Amino acid sequence: MNSPAPASRPNPTLLIVLAAIVAAFGLWLGTRYANAPAQPKLASALFYPEPRAIPEFALRQANGKPLTLADWRGRWSFVYFGYTTCPDVCPTTLAELKSAWADLGKRGVQDKLRVDFVSVDPERDTPDALARYVGFFSPDFVAATGTDAELTKLTRPLGIVYSRTKKDDGSVEVDHSGSIVIVDPQGRLVGLFRPPFKAKDLADDMATLAGWR
């Protein structure tokens, strides 16, 4: 009669190596979460857990100057995409931003912030049209647009979508996302405001970001 084979014993060296790997992973994970940047306390904005890179782009401001990623560095930027003949959401959003901007002026933090309006209807939104439209809300707001190739290069990584449809009567219908994206002073996408917007909430959060870090 054959004797049963002795039970195999775990290799002590292998167990030590595995234990070391588990311990190292636990230490790395703990350090990662311990060193995670604190999140600002915001009233309405959605702040992402990690910043997202924005690729280089080249648009044209209404004043003829270029608008590039470098212009979004050094201050907190709040960027809204729309078009000047928008019948409802664009003027409503800019009106809320106008009120928020006036509030921020009273708080003395405008120098740390900027508001950009980017048109997704470049064929009709000429520099003059953009300047008049955005200037009605605030001369401090930046107005810009660009080719569809450049706009798409920017909107896709920001999570913004838009489309234009020419109807049989020759009119153009434009659809676009309604969020205001938030770009930090390092030129990275860090969050957004979702509609509906309230000037007080916008101003509170923009002021919080101006004083954060």
Cα 101 from chain centroid? 18
For the chain, report the end-to-end CA distance as a whole number of angstroms: 78
For 150-175, the pLDDT digits (tens) are 999 999 999 999 999 988 888 899 99
User: 196: cis peptide before it, omega within 30°?
Assistant: yes
Taking the C-alpha atoms of residue 84 and residue 73, their distance in angstroms, rounded to an integer, is 26
For 112-153, the pLDDT digits (tens) are 999 999 999 999 999 999 999 999 999 999 999 999 999 999
Least confident of 15-29, 58-72, 193-207: 15-29
